[in-house]
Amino acid sequence: MMEQFVTRLRGDGAARSINRTQSPIRAHGVPWATIMLGSLAPWLPVIAPAPILPPFGFLMLLAWRLGRPNLLPLWAGLPLGLFDDLYSGQPLGSAILLFSLALIAIDLIEIRFPWRSFWLDWATAILLLAIYLAAGALFARTPLGQLQWQLVGSQLLLSIVLFPIFARIVAMLDRVRLKRVRRID
Amino acid sequence: MALPSGRRPGSNKKAQLGLFAGYLFAGLGALLGAALLVISLLRPETFAGLRSMAADIASPAGEAGASGRVASQNVFEAIAGYYRAGSRNAELQQEMRIARIKAAEAEALKRENMRLKAVLNLADGETRPVATARLIGSTAASTRRFAWISVGRLDGVRPGMPVSSPLGLIGRVLETGQRSSRVLLLTDPESMVPVRRATDDVVAFAEGRADGMLRLRLINLGINPIKKGDVFVTSGSGGLFRPGTAVALAIEITRDGAIAQLLSNPAATDVVLVEPIWQPQAVAAAAAPSIAQAESQDADEAASAIAATVSPAPSGSSTPEPPSAAEPDAQ
């Protein structure tokens, strides 16, 4: 029984991480890569007749920025937004503008409320998602009737519910990001 | 949790400067985004090349996903079939649905033929599709409804070509890349297709509603003759879409037309056909320079001819300015 316990310890991540260090590419690349992966959601094997999916790229950006404040530079909205615009179907520039403004807004909120909690993060995300979706519908030049607001509203509800899940996913990815994989020689 | 210390520069001049530079770059990024947004709202075709290049790069992944989607759909359909009365039932229902639409289309074609023969004696040959493709992606989060298909310029696809499935029309090609193209779906708010009732000549416009439905607006207002369950097919006016392709089924009557369900739901289609533009001459004529533009061009030429013949005018205010032409909207 003791031997089983020992082998389990040896197989454990902590035991294997001796003599290893973090990979800088992974530590810096994972947030960018996962946000861009979120922006690639239009290529999911779902052909949607209506806007039903939440903006995965923006959700990922919010989750990383709120969960790990110092990781993304303030100008990250420009490249990430450009990438999002290429695939989202929105007019080019809409995500660049909205991502950049969201990052600045989060920064200002952080200065105003230095003591943060998950509830504040969620509230911030709800506010920014509402503005993002409404502005996105406005920029798409869709005739804004009651119907469109219903569509955007249901999208917003789904995004709000999904944010905590994305926050957990990002927390998980953060552990992957900081895993000790590089061997020290 | 308190704020991490990097955001509080204190009296450290270098940190303060770094923070300021961060805000500066972020602000510049936002401004650049706003400028790009204005450009792409005024001229939507400006960044078409960039977008199609990006779509070309991502399309292999989409293609793999599309085959997975079709396979999983088949699995679910088979399970559903067993659940009801065996998978055969599902198959037969699918066939029946196609047959019903085909019958409506055939009826429409017969009438079309009759009319054409009566009026022009025009021989309307069978059109052959330009390419067959898979739907490999769609804008699932935006209120604009676009989809991507897995064929592009190399396969002979050009902007404006209609895209349809065996069940009916899906949309038209908007931008083409090398190996992928962007399709404006019928449900996009900016899509508008001239349609008529399959059984007679009630003509209407089918506009997208962004929620998967179409809005039919009658051209001849008066007593609304549409009934629930009427099938609408393309009428062929405008020259883009071949007449007689099934489009929609009226499900709810409104004051000026009806709310209609799309007959070929893009989500349920396996393979789509890209067809040639039905009447290229008509489409070209519609896109030709307007009278105002032609007139301004004439005025330009006349002014330059006068300037050349009369005298070597001093360069400056005396040369007649060409009248600024009203730009025709490129939509």
Given B46, B138, B142, which is nearest A47 (Cβ)?
Answer: B138
- Chain A residues touching B144 at Cβ < 8 A: 89-90, 140, 142
Distance CA A22, CA A177 (A): 8
B213 Cα to chain A: minimum distance (Å)? 8
Distance CA B324, CA B306 (A): 18
In a domain, B38, yes or no: no
Contact A128, A111 (CB under 8 A): no
Would you call A86 and B2 a contact, using CB atoms and an 8 Å cutoff? no
Given B4, B47, B147, which is nearest A70 (Cβ)?
Answer: B4
- The predicted structure's pLDDT at residue B328: 45
Contact B202, B185 (CB under 8 A): no
Fold of A17-183: Arp2/3 complex 21 kDa subunit ARPC3 (1.10.1760)
A58 Cα to chain B: minimum distance (Å)? 11
Q: A71: Cβ–Cβ under 8 A, 6 or more apart, which residues?
A: A31, A64, A65
- The predicted structure's pLDDT at residue B313: 45
Would you call A90 and B144 a contact, using CB atoms and an 8 Å cutoff? yes
Phi, psi of B46 (to 5 degrees): -60, -45
Given B40, B66, B147, which is nearest A93 (Cβ)?
Answer: B40
B61 Cα to chain A: minimum distance (Å)? 7
Would you call B2 and A114 a contact, using CB atoms and an 8 Å cutoff? yes
With a pLDDT cut of 90, the percent of chain A lying above it is 45
Would you call B7 and A111 a contact, using CB atoms and an 8 Å cutoff? yes
Contact A33, A25 (CB under 8 A): no
Measured from the Cβ of residue B20, the count of other Cβ atoms closer than 10 Å reads 11
- Chain B residues touching A78 at Cβ < 8 A: 25, 29, 32-33
Would you call B38 and A93 a contact, using CB atoms and an 8 Å cutoff? yes
Distance CA B329, CA B43 (A): 9
Q: pLDDT digit of tens for each residue in chain B (331 aa)? A: 566 555 666 788 888 888 888 889 999 999 999 999 998 888 877 888 888 888 888 888 777 777 777 676 666 666 665 565 667 777 888 888 888 888 888 888 888 877 777 666 554 555 678 888 888 888 888 888 888 898 999 999 999 899 988 888 899 999 898 888 999 999 888 888 999 888 888 899 998 887 888 999 988 877 888 888 888 999 888 888 888 888 999 998 988 889 998 888 777 777 888 988 887 777 777 665 555 565 666 667 667 766 666 655 444 444 444 444 444 444 4
Given B1, B25, B34, which is nearest A74 (Cβ)?
Answer: B25
ipTM of this model? Answer: 0.79
Task: Name the H helices within B11-152.
Answer: 13-42, 48-84, 87-119
Measured from the Cβ of residue B99, the count of other Cβ atoms closer than 10 Å reads 10
CA closest to B25 among chain A residues? A75
Contact A54, A48 (CB under 8 A): no
A76 Cα to chain B: minimum distance (Å)? 8
> Which residue in A70, A135, A45 sits closest to A97, CA to CA?
A135
Q: How would you classify the pairing of strands B257-262 and B131-138?
A: unpaired
Q: B286: Cβ–Cβ under 8 A, 6 or more apart, which residues?
A: B238, B239
CATH number of the domain residue B260 falls in = 2.40.10.340
Distance CA A36, CA A49 (A): 24
Would you call B189 and A143 a contact, using CB atoms and an 8 Å cutoff? yes
Task: Name the H helices within B4-47.
Answer: 13-42
- The predicted structure's pLDDT at residue B322: 46
Q: Which of A67-71, A120-124, B174-178, B228-232 has the highest mean pLDDT?
A: A120-124
Contact A79, B133 (CB under 8 A): no
Question: What is the number of domains present in chain B?
Answer: 1
Identity of residue A80: L
Would you call B209 and A147 a contact, using CB atoms and an 8 Å cutoff? yes
Q: Domain of residue B130: give its range.
A: 93-285
Contact B185, B264 (CB under 8 A): no
Q: Which long-range contacts (CB under 8 A, 24 or more apart) does A1-7 make?
A: none
Distance CA A65, CA B296 (A): 54
B54-75 residues labelled b (16+ CB within 10 A) or e (exposed): bbbebbeebbebbeebbeeeee
- The predicted structure's pLDDT at residue B107: 87
Would you call B144 and A142 a contact, using CB atoms and an 8 Å cutoff? yes
First-to-last C-alpha distance (Å) of chain A: 35
Would you call B29 and A89 a contact, using CB atoms and an 8 Å cutoff? no
- The predicted structure's pLDDT at residue A96: 94
- The predicted structure's pLDDT at residue B51: 85
- The predicted structure's pLDDT at residue A76: 92
Contact B77, B90 (CB under 8 A): yes
Look up residue B126 and give its two tokens: 């069978």
Given B38, B141, B212, which is nearest A49 (Cβ)?
Answer: B212
Is the pTM higher than 0.90? The answer reads no
Q: How would you classify the pairing of strands B246-254 and B168-176?
A: unpaired
Q: Is A161 buried (19+), middle (13-18) or exposed (0-12) by CB count in 10 A?
A: exposed
Look-up: residue for tokens 């926050």? Answer: A167
Contact A21, A184 (CB under 8 A): yes
- Chain B residues touching A99 at Cβ < 8 A: 33
Given A42, A69, A116, which is nearest B139 (Cβ)?
Answer: A42
> Residues A125-174: pLDDT tens digits?
999 999 999 999 888 877 777 777 888 899 999 999 999 999 999 999 99
Q: How confident is the model at residue A36 (pLDDT cuts 50, 70, 90)?
A: very high
Distance CA A38, CA A32 (A): 10
Give A44 or A165, the one with higher predicted confidence. A165
In a domain, B85, yes or no: no
- The predicted structure's pLDDT at residue B315: 45
Phi, psi of B65 (to 5 degrees): -60, -40
Q: B183: Cβ–Cβ under 8 A, 6 or more apart, which residues?
A: B135, B146, B147, B148, B149, B163, B170, B171, B172, B173, B174
Q: Bridge-partner residues for B253, per DSSP?
A: B258
- Chain A residues touching B209 at Cβ < 8 A: 147
Would you call B142 and A140 a contact, using CB atoms and an 8 Å cutoff? yes
Q: Choose from A36, A43, A98 for mutation: most chain B CBs within 10 A.
A: A43
Question: Please, what sign has the CA dihedral across residues B196, B272, B191, A44?
Answer: positive
Would you call A53 and B4 a contact, using CB atoms and an 8 Å cutoff? no
Whether residue A58 is predicted with pLDDT greater than 80 in this model: the reply is: yes
Would you call B190 and A110 a contact, using CB atoms and an 8 Å cutoff? no
Distance CA B231, CA B197 (A): 6
- Chain A residues touching B248 at Cβ < 8 A: none
- The predicted structure's pLDDT at residue B48: 83
CA closest to B45 among chain A residues? A91
Full 3-state SS string of A112-149: HCCCCCHHHHHHHHHHHHHHHHHHHHHHCCCCCCHHHH
Count of residues for chain A? 185
Measured from the Cβ of residue A164, the count of other Cβ atoms closer than 10 Å reads 14
Would you call A70 and B138 a contact, using CB atoms and an 8 Å cutoff? no
Distance CA A178, CA A86 (A): 30
Q: Is B78 buried (19+), middle (13-18) or exposed (0-12) by CB count in 10 A?
A: middle
- Chain A residues touching B62 at Cβ < 8 A: 43, 45
B24 Cα to chain A: minimum distance (Å)? 9
Distance CA B14, CA B2 (A): 23
